């Protein structure tokens, strides 16, 4: 579950006030809104990536995480540009969070190959990120985000800048992931078609307010 309670965010001169919303446990949540309205600011606040929170509460799976460090929140995050570590192999990108958590080499090997098989990237594990297609990079970024089995997965326009065929393939992958993995998802998109295909809970950020509704 993702729950925002009277959340006030400040990012320089930009402010969002009294944001309240709930995405139920294991639901696929969609967040829509015009460019520049603050969707990514909300996502970053949930992930703890920037000190945006001025007041209010962020709860994830009934735990108050408002002031916890990102690694303590149990969140997997895929930014819009995938942001893979260019100096690491694909294997090491996926293993990154597991090494931070001091997993054994045996368990890391098993988990990385498990996710690589699920994402269809096993043949890429020995490569570097340079030269990956957009779809391949998204699959790697999703595997990295899911490596430590987070309870919440945040996706910032994960299907942007993909060609039509690849867009459809990653959409299908997200549907499969949601069906197979017990995770609550918050997905930012501008596409109502994408939202209808994937979403179960719909939020729109409009005039600084979060409104529950439908993807239209």
Contacts of 179 (CB under 8 A, 6+ apart): none
pLDDT at 12 (0 to 100): 84
Per-residue confidence band for 51, with pLDDT thresholds at 50, 70 and 90: confident
Residue 209: which H helix or E strand, with range? strand 209-212
Tell me how crowded residue 105 is: count the other CB atoms within 10 A of its CB: 10
Contact 146, 181 (CB under 8 A): yes
Per-residue confidence band for 160, with pLDDT thresholds at 50, 70 and 90: confident
| Least confident span in 1-5, 38-42, 94-98, 212-216 | 212-216
The mean of the pLDDT values for the chain is 94
pLDDT at 182 (0 to 100): 86
Q: What is the pLDDT of residues 171-199, one digit of tens each?
A: 999 999 999 898 999 999 999 999 999 99
pLDDT at 216 (0 to 100): 66
**123-128 long-range contacts, Cβ below 8 Å, gap at least 24?**
124/90, 125/89, 125/90, 125/91, 125/94, 126/89, 126/90, 126/91, 127/89, 127/90, 128/86, 128/87, 128/88, 128/89, 128/90
pLDDT at 9 over 80: yes
How far, in Å, CA of 60 to CA of 195, rounded? 22
Whole-angstrom Cα Rg for the chain? 17
**In whole angstroms, how far apart are CA 167 and each of 53, 69, 90, 138, 157?**
33, 32, 21, 10, 11
Q: Which residues pair with 11 in a beta bridge?
A: 14
| % residues pLDDT > 70 (the chain) | 100
pLDDT at 59 (0 to 100): 97
pLDDT at 34 over 70: yes
Per-residue confidence band for 201, with pLDDT thresholds at 50, 70 and 90: very high
CA angle 89, 103, 106 (to 5 degrees): 75
Count Cβ atoms within 10 A of the Cβ of residue 63 and give its class: 0-12 exposed, 13-18 middle, 19 or more buried: middle
pTM above 0.85, yes or no: yes
| % residues pLDDT > 90 (the chain) | 87
pLDDT at 11 (0 to 100): 82
pLDDT at 205 over 70: yes
Count Cβ atoms within 10 A of the Cβ of residue 127 and give its class: 0-12 exposed, 13-18 middle, 19 or more buried: middle
* Angle between helices 134-146 and 105-119 in degrees, nearest 10: 140
Taking every pair of Cα atoms in the chain, the longest distance, rounded to a whole number of angstroms, is 50
Per-residue confidence band for 70, with pLDDT thresholds at 50, 70 and 90: very high
Contacts of 13 (CB under 8 A, 6+ apart): none
């Amino acid at each position: 579950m993702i729950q925002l309670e009277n959340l006030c965010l400040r990012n320089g001169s930009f402010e969002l006030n009294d944001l309240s919303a709930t995405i139920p446990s294991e639901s696929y949540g969609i967040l829509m809104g015009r460019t520049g309205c603050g969707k990514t600011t909300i996502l970053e606040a949930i992930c703890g990536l920037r000190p945006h929170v001025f007041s209010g509460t962020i709860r994830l799976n009934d735990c108050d995480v408002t002031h916890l460090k990102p690694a303590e929140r149990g969140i997997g995050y895929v930014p819009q540009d995938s942001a893979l570590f260019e100096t690491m192999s694909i294997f090491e990108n996926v293993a990154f969070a597991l090494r931070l958590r001091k997993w054994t080499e045996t368990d890391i090997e098993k988990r990385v190959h498990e996710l690589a098989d699920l994402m269809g990237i096993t043949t890429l594990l020995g490569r570097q990120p340079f030269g990956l297609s957009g779809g391949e990079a998204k699959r790697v970024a999703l595997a990295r985000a899911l490596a430590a089995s987070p309870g919440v997965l945040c996706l910032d326009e994960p299907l942007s800048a993909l060609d039509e065929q690849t867009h459809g393939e990653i959409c299908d992958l997200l549907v499969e992931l949601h069906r197979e993995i017990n995770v609550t998802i918050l997905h930012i998109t501008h596409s109502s078609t994408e939202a209808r295909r994937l979403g179960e809970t719909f939020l729109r950020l409009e005039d600084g307010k979060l409104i529950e509704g439908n993807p239209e």
